Amino acid sequence: MTRPVESAPKLNLLKSMSMLEDAQRLTPGGVGGIRRPYNFVIGEYPVFITHGHGGHIVDVDGNEYIDMLCAYGPIILGYVEDEINDAAKAQMDKGFCFSLVQPLQNELEQRLADIMPCGEQTILVKTGSDATNAAVRAMRAYTGRDKIARCGYHGWGDWCVEHHGGVPEAVWQLTKEFEYGDIADLERVFAENPGEIAGVVITPVGHPMAKPIIAPPPGYLEAVKELTHKHGAVLTFDEIRTGFRVSMGGASERYGVVPDLTTVGKAMANGYSIAALVGQREIMSVYVKGAFLSSTYFPNSLEMAASMKCLEILEREKVQDAIWERGTKFLARLGAIVDASGVPVTKSGIPPMPFLTFDHVDEHYKERRTEFYTQCIRRGLFVQPYHHWYICYRHTAADLDRALEVVEESLAFVAEQYPYSK
């Protein structure tokens, strides 16, 4: 008889829970947006982290985890990278916030122009939402049209936010959704809005929320570009997640399709708050007189110094090649574990961005998902139920082996608790 798989013991999270209670008094919800406990497993995941090292994080109660969420993507190398921090500290000694810009701006913008396939001009901002909002404004100013065709998650701007609370209906009605991988659905959007679509904003790798990751089907991105230009619209690739992670020049370089505009961020500076809109000079030039974009903190140079050093390391160490190689092996082993588990779960992703999602086959799929992620966190693997995972450069072979062991053990426990037969 096979010995039953035991549940891992519940973590001590007393300090995290106490601090959350205090935080809820201080700020709405205690913590913001996607970091709120309901996006994980309430009562099982920590809320407050003290520090990280390599591919690991440690919470306020002293629990340590292999972190495959990587701060939702910015950690491309690892936590506490001395070279990057030293570059930021050196810039700090010169000053980093002025009424005018510093020469480092030109250096980083030239670097991005050299790296990104569509790079002719660049606008440096702070967040992914800044960059996608800037892209949308540029497309509208350039075409004189108002409507946007959207596929994927693009931040919290009024034009794309998932929750419409506080957003005038007249605003969000200007955004038209289409399905990733289905060119006919994009054709439908153009047909229903003739001559009104300013631009298409799409994540070149499909990563719909809480659903399997989709690599671009053969010919799909090419067809999106052709159709967009046929209708006089502008094409933007949202590469906030894929930029500098799937290759040095992002998904547009790896998959060979060059958009008019690209947004990048996250992995651009290994956690420092910087993002960018990069694109064709003709379209970007609307920001000379035809549109406005400004912020007190956009020209701050600490993040620029961090980004320059991060990009140097990525290129010098051939980081994307290493991650792609490790991720290919990880995905293959993950698929074998899933196939052997007997649990209705889907393995998806591309090598830098693996994911597991639970199939809607019966009334227990939510319980399976909750129990799986509960067992993962208790066993020291930090992943998120509704967001794909990441592999960073400092994840060691031992880290990835242990992550797969945790997945196998957790799926085995789920299989016993919620058996499934076709």
Q: What is the DSSP string of 43-83?
A: TTS-S-EEEEEBTEEEETTS-EEEESSGGGTT-SS-BS-HH
Six token digits for residue 358: 């639970």
Does residue 50 have a pLDDT over 90?
yes
Residue 64 phi/psi, 5° resolution?
Answer: -110, 145
Q: What is the mean pLDDT of residues 378-401?
A: 98
Q: Convert the pLDDT of each residue in 122-141 to its tens digit.
A: 999 999 999 999 999 999 99
Mean pLDDT of the chain: 97
CA distance 10 to 31: 23
Does residue 309 have a pLDDT over 80?
yes
Does residue 3 have a pLDDT over 80?
no
Q: What is the mean pLDDT of residues 391-397?
A: 98
Q: What is the mean pLDDT of residues 177-203?
A: 98
Q: What is the mean pLDDT of residues 57-86?
A: 98
Q: Convert the pLDDT of each residue in 215-253 to its tens digit.
A: 999 999 999 999 999 999 999 999 999 999 999 999 999
How confident is the model at residue 1, as a pLDDT?
A: 42
CA distance 57 to 397: 17
How confident is the model at residue 269, as a pLDDT?
A: 98
CA distance 228 to 217: 17
How confident is the model at residue 42, as a pLDDT?
A: 96
Q: What is the mean pLDDT of residues 30-36?
A: 92
**What SS3 state is found at 223?**
helix
How confident is the model at residue 10, as a pLDDT?
A: 97
How confident is the model at residue 382, as a pLDDT?
A: 98
Q: How confident is the model at residue 340 (pLDDT cuts 50, 70, 90)?
A: very high
Q: How confident is the model at residue 4 (pLDDT cuts 50, 70, 90)?
A: confident
Q: 14-26+34-79+324-417 — its CATH code?
A: 3.90.1150.10
Q: What is the mean pLDDT of residues 316-323?
A: 98
CA distance 367 to 27: 30
Domain residue ranges of the chain, discontinuous segments joined by + = 14-26+34-79+324-417, 82-316
> If you write DSSP's letter for every residue of 378-413 in order, what string do you get?
HTTEE--TTS-----TT--HHHHHHHHHHHHHHHHH
Q: How confident is the model at residue 2 (pLDDT cuts 50, 70, 90)?
A: low
How confident is the model at residue 209, as a pLDDT?
A: 85
The proportion of the chain whose per-residue pLDDT surpasses 70, expressed as a percent, equals 99
How confident is the model at residue 210, as a pLDDT?
A: 85
Question: Among candidates 308, 271, 295, which has minimal Cα distance to 112?
Answer: 308
Q: 82-316 — its CATH code?
A: 3.40.640.10
